[in-house]
Amino acid sequence: MNAIISASELVSELAGEHPPVVLDVRWQLSMAKAAGQPAFDGRAEYGAGHVPGAVFVDLDRELASAPGAAGRHPLPDVAAFGAAMRRAGVSAAVPVVVYDGGQGWAAARAWWLLRWTGHPDVRVLDGGLPAWEGVLSVDVPSPAEGDFEPVPGSVGLLDADGAAALARSGVLFDARAGERYRGDVEPIDPVGGHIPGAVSAPTTENVGVDGRFLPAEELNARFKALGAAGDAEVGVYCGSGVSAAHEVLALAVAGIPAALYVGSWSEWSSDPQRPVAVGPEPQ
């Protein structure tokens, strides 16, 4: 099953006899609130225009639980997540397509959660809303209640100990920008650097200038060159388990299964007992 779908393919499927459920997960990491400016409002963006029939999903409230010791975007309560998905019309036997404003991180978070909880057919709109060439709607749909019942465990999930172990026994990718991996800067978390043994693999390098994923062959070659070759187990983390989901998606496009460390650096760096490496090398 493909993990992504093009805009033209989505147009065709929406016009078919069995259209997918479409979820709009517009969200972005913003420092505006810390600077005293209004934070990004995904719901307002959705209200101004969205793919016809798409239902808005709030990443912070429905795809994560409250920030705390487990990180900025911990796993949501599974029952609450299932209820949110059913309200959005998600059913087990109906395909789901997820998109965001183009960065792909938020859509990938929804994709990963649905896959982790057992939905068999979820794809991300490659390039997000900017790739959509059809009309936009301001009508808010009222979908029929879905029947999706989440059952966690269908794809790989790491905790802090598991991430630490994988960094030594397999390949643990750090999806953040290189300067955060090296510890040159850290705008959000308590300390800069990376998990010892982790390999820098910024998720921004998985897409072209148009925000769409590089061809599968190029992605496969990139990840293999970084160590994801042979039988090596692969995991990914980032700041709070959002951009890392995008890298897990890129790995899926490349044909490489990978686990997600949801707590990521926001959890790891908040524990003073966890070791921190700095500089360009995994150490």
Tokens 């479409």 sit at which residue? 22
d(CA 40, CA 33): 9
d(CA 142, CA 204): 35
Structure tokens at 181: 């991996």
Tokens 């090398």 sit at which residue? 281
Question: Is 238 among the residues known to form the active site?
Answer: yes
Q: Which of 88, 166, 238, 250 is catalytic?
A: 238
Cα distance from N-terminal residue to C-terminal residue, the chain: 36
CB atoms within 10 A of CB 116: 24
Q: H helices then E strands: how many in the chain?
A: 10, 10
d(CA 49, CA 36): 27
Question: 237 - beta bridge partners?
Answer: 174
40 exposed, middle or buried (CB, 10 Å; 0-12, 13-18, 19+)?
middle
Structure tokens at 68: 């705390």
| Residues marked as catalytic | 238
